[in-house]
Structure 1
Amino acid sequence: MNVLEKLKILSDAAKYDVSCSSSGSNRRNKKGGLGEASVSGICHSWSDDGRCISLFKILFTNYCIYDCAYCVNRYSNDLSRAMFTPEEVVDLTINFYKRNYIEGLFLSSAVYRNPNYTMEQLLQIVKKLREEENFNGYIHLKAIPGADKEIIEKAGTYVDRMSVNIELPSNEGLKLLAPQKNKESIIKPMGLIKTKMIQSVEERKKFRASPKFVPAGQTTQLIVGATGDNDLKILKLSEGLYKGYNLKRVYYSAYVPVSANPKLPVLKSPPLVRENRLYQADWLLRFYGYNADELLDNSKPNFDLELDPKCDWALRNIHLFPVEINRADYDMLLRVPGIGVKSAMRIISSRKFSSLDFYDLKKLGIVLKRARYFITCKGKHYGLKNMNSEYIRNKLVIDKYKNEPNTDIEQLSMFSLYPSLTMEDNIIKIGGQF
């Protein structure tokens, strides 16, 4: 099999891994070197089947010793298999970079032979790129659960970001769908990466010449919908990972049915709206000061698919509203649907000079179609006379569908190496402030 045939198979196999990010690292070019990474991140373009173009996103191999029911690369699945050599990956990365196709590498792999062997191959690749090719572009590497810590530690000195995919939110899910894996083997490398990152920061304070370890941090991915785990359980797991392992991001991937295994749920289509709600809730955890137990509880363990989590929370706490826009503190402003972080800061800054009315809020970029139900301006309320949560919910849902555009939306792609690999995806319209 030639390199292009391998590339066709292994780039397509990598599209199911959504934890593909490229920001947070400052790696400057050196004399005689090639490329650099910027802390501001890389602008992405996406192919039709969801692959990130600006990062060279591939698997080292899709040969796998595991038989995870939810995974397309499981060893019992009948599909085309391929495996690069380390030299082939290095050569492709450098040549694609020189042609301005990519600005970095996202390298993952199925587990071939055993975790140590696979991790050693990945280490060879990133070591060759940095030391032999003097490549200073961005590298995101997947750490293989079960590999020796010495190999993971060594690889972490060459890359900008590492990630370890948890994939399933509970031990029960792992036992059911991936019995060859266990939670401890996944969590252990995450703890190792966190510890080494902290040590690296402390060392750099004393010795500026000491190498950075995973300067852009670590991430993980959770599959949504392959098991019966509710949104509350998933969100509490994410909250624990942010607090306990200093993760940069948790990525949520709607389960795509890839087999007819009786242990898997029967879905007509991936739960994309649910995935979107979890991303919105994750944003609230990281930037709006919410806790998982505020957004959901045992009496309501799943998000409302018709409303974003912030609106849902506001309606369940309607006794806190309406708030006066000219007196509410910053934290309370962030709780108002339609007001984001930047808008809340603008309100705080603007009202130092004069009281704000609804016209002023519109100029500040507030989404008044949502916010008007939950605020007053100079004592005036332009929402509904009755602060009834069910009535407001109905109005919000009706307004959402009333303003839903009928035009088809397509993602732009910079180029496509293999047009035959593209497929039609359902696209969710995500945007605006919560």
Structure 2
Amino acid sequence: MNEQVLQKLKVLAESAKYDVSCASSGTVRRNSKGGVGNTVGGWGICHSFAEDGRCISLLKIMLTNYCIYDCAYCINRISNDIPRATLSVSELVDLTMEFYRRNYIEGLFLSSGVVRNPDYTMERLVRVAKDLREVHRFNGYIHLKSIPGASEELVRQAGLYADRLSVNLEIPTEENLKRLAPEKDHQSVYLPMKYIQQGVLESNEERKKYRKAPRFAPAGQSTQMIVGATSETDRDILRVSSSLYERPTMKRVYYSGYISVNTYDKRLPALKQPPLVRENRLYQADWLLRFYEFKVDELVDDRTPDLDLEIDPKLAWALRHPEFFPVNIQTADYESLLRVPGIGVRSAKLIVTSRRFSRVGFYELKKMGAVMKKAKYFITCNELPDKTILELGPTQVRKLLLPHPAKKKDDLQLSFDFGDSFTTHEKP
């Protein structure tokens, strides 16, 4: 690796850091004779972290950060005066193989700015994946970012070499997307999503008949939406997510708190910091939609179109519906147990299984992983000393469960605990 390639790597890795949809799970690709590496089964292949806390087990890079589009929210927009770089297909392939052999990475996450046109860019991304698989016999994880507007033929080729494909929706509504990115529309995003879905489903059917039939994007697809750059409510965002999850191949929707990188553009809000708490609440709500059998309108509605930033969405729902509680741990069905704050999927399954043999009490619930600090106000079982939400009321329970702000102390004031014989004095 020469100095010029390393300089390109620095520029393109920096440009790629704003894309959070770099999933690294959902498929198994075993090594073969003469091949290099493998993709392990399980959820995630993380082993190192960047300074900002993000996992970097994948080489997360762009093929080029030149772009013909002028999207208001993007650092790589054509009107920005930033360092630009482009890696050739061979340079990127060699870089990936060198990093893999040195055990720096376990896979590749590759995206790109759009140069010339979507098909030209997509063709180069496909060539990178094809060379890794066929020339270098690379069996590690590959996640390709499909270019909006790319042709069906190129998307189909990409799916034969990549483990996961993704197309970023970016802005939830067409109206706001047109306002911030006039060259784009939702149709150019939903069409590649459709091509990926068709490819995965056809591949699954083919493999039922022929065991050695080629796999198509075995880890499915994902997408990303920016949170806070436009006026959409959490309800608008979650409705889009819910409709996307109805597609059988959509594995994850990622939410990226808007980072104010183009402060000069008056179409964008002037945020001092990204809405990270809101982003976290959306991920929690997303989890409830996928695994806890909640519906969007249960979490957000006309009266409360945005999620509560102080408490998690499941607890917020429980406080708005005290009539549903307390839930009897000994008799409640699995679906009702999932609605209890502090009880997760694993705990609910263990409760249903365990109570066939003995009664479940406070101690047993803690051993099963239930967060009793929350759950005790919403259940009835043996040995529960505290009152439930029926006696205390939603307002009091909320007050008890809200995190208490830490008391501010004077750093210059020392305080020691000498037991009962001495007392210490702190500033009021």
Both proteins in one fold, TM over 0.5: yes
Distance 1:356 1:29 in 2: 46
Q: Report the secondary structure of 2:247's partner residue.
A: helix
* Structure 2 residue 168 is matched with structure 1 residue 165: yes
- Residue 249 of structure 1 aligns to a residue whose secondary structure is strand
Q: Does 1:80 align with 2:83?
A: yes
Structure 1 residue 238 and structure 2 residue 241: aligned? yes
- Pairwise CA distance, 1:51: 4.8
Determine if contact 1:324/1:378 at 8 Å carries over to the other structure. Answer: no
Are 1:336 and 2:340 an aligned pair? Answer: yes
Specify the alignment match of 2:194 in structure 1.
191
User: In the alignment, which of 290, 315, 321 is matched to residue 317 of structure 1?
Assistant: 321
1:13-412 equivalence runs, <5 A? 13-40=15-42, 41-244=44-247, 246-260=249-263, 261-378=265-382, 382-384=386-388, 386-397=391-402, 400-401=403-404
Give the drift of 1:396.
Answer: 1.2
Change (3 A) 1:290 1:216: same
SS in 2 for 1:3: helix
SS at structure 2 position matched to 1:386? helix
Query: 1:169 and 1:256 mapped to 2: Cα distance?
Result: 17
Q: CA deviation at 1:248?
A: 0.5
Matches of 1:245 and 1:339, distance apart in 2: 27
SS of equivalent to 2:266: coil
Q: Report the Cα distance in structure 2 between the residues aligned to 1:380 and 1:358, rounded to whole angstroms.
A: 6
Equivalence for 1:432:
none
Q: What is the TM-score with the length of structure 2 in the denominator?
A: 0.91
- Residues of 1 paired with 2:213 and 2:152: CA distance? 20
1:281 alignment partner, SS class: helix
1:12 maps to which residue? 14
Aligned-partner residue type, residue 4 of structure 1: L
Name the SS for the 1:56 alignment partner: strand
Is the alpha carbon distance of 1:372 and 1:106 closer, same or farther for their aligned partners in structure 2, counting shifts above 3 Å?
same
Partner of 1:416: none
CA separation in 2, counterparts of 1:107 and 1:234? 26
Q: CA deviation at 1:381?
A: 6.0
Tell me which residue corresponds to 2:425: none
Distance 1:164 1:359, change over 3 A: same
Deviation at 1:383, TM superposition (A): 3.0
Q: Following the alignment from structure 1 to structure 2, what is the Cα–Cα distance between the partners of residues 179 and 381?
A: 60
Q: C-alpha separation between the residues in 2 aligned to 1:101 and 1:346? A: 39
Task: Name the stretch that deviates more: 285-294 or 42-51.
Answer: 42-51
Amino acid at match of 1:30: S
Change (3 A) 1:403 1:341: farther
Q: Which has the larger radius of gyration?
A: 2
Which string of whole-angstrom CA distances, capped at 9 and with x for unpartnered residues, describes residues 239-266 of structure 1? 1001035311001000000112111011
1:45 Cα deviation from its structure 2 partner: 2.2
- State the Cα distance separating 1:346 from its structure 2 match: 1.4
Q: Which residue type is aligned with residue 98 of structure 1?
A: R
- Paired AA for residue 165 in structure 2: M
Aligned-partner SS, 1:63: coil
Q: Indicate the larger mover: 33-42 or 64-73.
A: 33-42
Compute the RMSD of aligned alpha carbons: 1.8
Q: Percent identity?
A: 57
Cα shift readout 1:149-179 (whole Å, capped 9, x = no counterpart): 1011111101100000001110111011111
Deviations 1:81-114 (A, max 9, x none): 0000000000000000000001100000111111
How far is the alpha carbon of 1:371 from its aligned partner? Answer: 0.6
Matched-pair contact (CA < 8 Å) for 1:55–1:105? yes
Aligned residue identity for 1:29: N
1:49 CA displacement: 3.4
User: Alpha-carbon deviation of 1:393?
Assistant: 1.3
Equivalences, count: 404
Q: What displacement does 1:24 show?
A: 1.2
Q: Please give the alpha-carbon distance, in whole angstroms, between the structure 1 residues aligned to 2:54 and 2:9.
A: 13
Q: Any conservation in 1 of the 2:63–2:110 contact (CA below 8 Å)?
A: yes
Output the CA distance in 1 between the equivalents of 2:21 and 2:125: 18
C-alpha displacement of 1:389: 1.4
Confirm or deny: 8 A CA contact 1:15 1:50 kept in the other structure.
no
Amino acid at match of 2:37: G
Distance 1:105 1:121 in 2: 15
- Once the two structures are TM-superposed, the CA of residue 39 in structure 1 deviates from its matched residue by 2.3
Cα separation, 1, equivalents of 2:366 and 2:184: 52
Aligned to 1:430: none
**Residue identity in the other structure for 1:396:** L
Q: Note the C-alpha offset of 1:28.
A: 1.3
1:347 Cα deviation from its structure 2 partner: 1.2
One-letter identity of the residue aligned with 2:59: F
